[in-house]
């Protein structure tokens, strides 16, 4: 709910806390969280044109105060995946979600773009812990690592995701030590076809080789006799046609 909306509601409902009290508490929480999980800024190297921003999806945010602010933003926000994990893992151990005798975390990375307002887009990268089966589908248990205004493009993602990719490499290769326990990570990626293809450096969906998983070409789609299997390996992804 926007600030103006809460003020209007509080004006007719005397039992609600005043808006300034809520804002004060939110500010305290924000300052406290910034000390534990710092937000760093990354300069956006490419400002998309109006034609690139023009698309027909419905807006996700209707507050003009928010959309006007986003128009003037030239930086993206990044939160360290290691800081987030260091903060949430002890709580998951306490709840019994994670087992210190089997310190393996299944970490899912998700990404997508969304329409904030007319000709305004945002791209968000989140992560979630698949071990937490009861809560993995709840938005509060997906943690934002990267958020920036702009379009889904390889050039933008390459710059904006650079620190996050380095952290993922460290987590995969070396794990994360918390309270003298080294946690190992299995990484998973979840997105729609467009975002996945951009991250992998694919050509367009109508190109000759369009599939992220097998080496089928668009000319072979009508061949029902061929048993297409998942054959591509991430270690050699750049060696396949279409990349």
Same domain, 211 and 125: no
Residue pLDDT, tens place only, 22-64 = 777 778 877 777 777 888 888 887 655 444 444 445 545 555 5
Residue 1 lies in a domain: no
Residue 61 lies in a domain: yes
What is the share, in percent, of the chain residues with pLDDT greater than 70? 83
Same domain, 83 and 178: yes
- Which residue, 242, 239, 237, is CA-closest to 209? 242
Kindly write down the DSSP assignment for every residue of the chain, as one continuous string: --HHHHHHHHHH-TTSPPHHHHHHHHHHHHHHHHHHS-EEEEE-S----HHHH---PPPS---HHHHHHHHT--EEEEE-HHHHHHHHHHHHHHTTSS-TTS-EEEEEEEEEEEEEETTEEEEEEEEEETT-TTTTTSGGGSEEEEEEES---HHHHHHHTHHHHHHHHHHHHH-EEETTEEEEEEEEEE--HHHHHHHHT---TTSSS--SSS---GGGTT-TT--------GGGGGGSTT-
Domain assignment of residue 95, given as a range: 41-201
Residue 25 lies in a domain: no
pLDDT of 127 reads 95
The strand pair at 75-79 and 39-43 is best described as antiparallel
**Considering its fold, how many domains does the chain have in total?**
2
Same domain, 70 and 171: yes
HEC string of 94-116? HCCCCCCCCCEEEEEEEEEEEEE
Same domain, 72 and 190: yes
Same domain, 193 and 228: no
pLDDT of 188 reads 94
Residue 164 lies in a domain: yes
Residue 8 lies in a domain: no
Same domain, 164 and 152: yes
Same domain, 221 and 136: no
Please give the span between the terminal C-alpha atoms of the chain, in angstroms, as a whole number. 44
Same domain, 140 and 173: yes
Same domain, 92 and 195: yes
Residue pLDDT, tens place only, 91-116 = 999 999 999 999 999 999 999 987 76
Phi-psi region of 179 (alpha: psi -120 to 50; beta: other; left: phi over 0): left
Q: Quick one: how far is CA 215 from the chain centroid?
A: 28
Residue 146 lies in a domain: yes
Same domain, 78 and 195: yes
Q: Which two tokens stand for residue 44?
A: 């956006």
Same domain, 68 and 179: yes
Residue pLDDT, tens place only, 182-231 = 999 999 999 988 888 888 877 777 778 878 778 888 888 777 777 778 88
pLDDT of 167 above 50: yes
- Which residue, 106, 203, 195, is CA-closest to 146? 195
Same domain, 187 and 101: yes
């Amino acid at each position: 709910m926007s600030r103006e909306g809460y003020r209007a509601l509080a004006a007719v409902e005397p039992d609600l806390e005043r808006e300034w009290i809520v804002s004060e508490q939110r500010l305290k929480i924000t300052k406290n969280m910034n000390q534990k999980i710092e937000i760093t800024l990354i300069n956006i190297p490419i400002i998309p044109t109006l034609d690139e921003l023009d698309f027909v999806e419905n807006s996700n945010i209707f507050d003009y105060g928010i959309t006007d602010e986003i128009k003037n933003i030239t930086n993206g926000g990044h939160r360290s995946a290691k800081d987030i994990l260091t903060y949430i893992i002890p709580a998951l151990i306490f709840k019994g979600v994670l087992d210190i005798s089997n310190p393996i975390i299944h970490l899912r990375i998700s990404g997508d773009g969304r329409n904030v307002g007319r000709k305004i887009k945002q791209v968000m990268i989140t992560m979630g812990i698949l071990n937490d089966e009861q809560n993995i589908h709840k938005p509060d248990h997906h943690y934002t690592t990267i958020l920036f205004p702009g379009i889904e493009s390889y050039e933008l993602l390459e710059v904006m995701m650079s620190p996050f990719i380095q952290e993922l490499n460290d987590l995969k290769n070396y794990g994360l030590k918390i309270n003298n326990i080294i946690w190992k990570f299995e990484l998973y990626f979840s997105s729609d076809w467009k975002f996945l293809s951009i991250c992998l450096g694919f050509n367009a969906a109508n190109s000759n080789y369009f599939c992220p998983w097998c080496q089928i070409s668009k000319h072979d789609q009508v061949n029902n006799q061929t048993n297409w299997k998942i054959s591509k390996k991430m270690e050699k992804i750049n060696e396949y046609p279409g990349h």
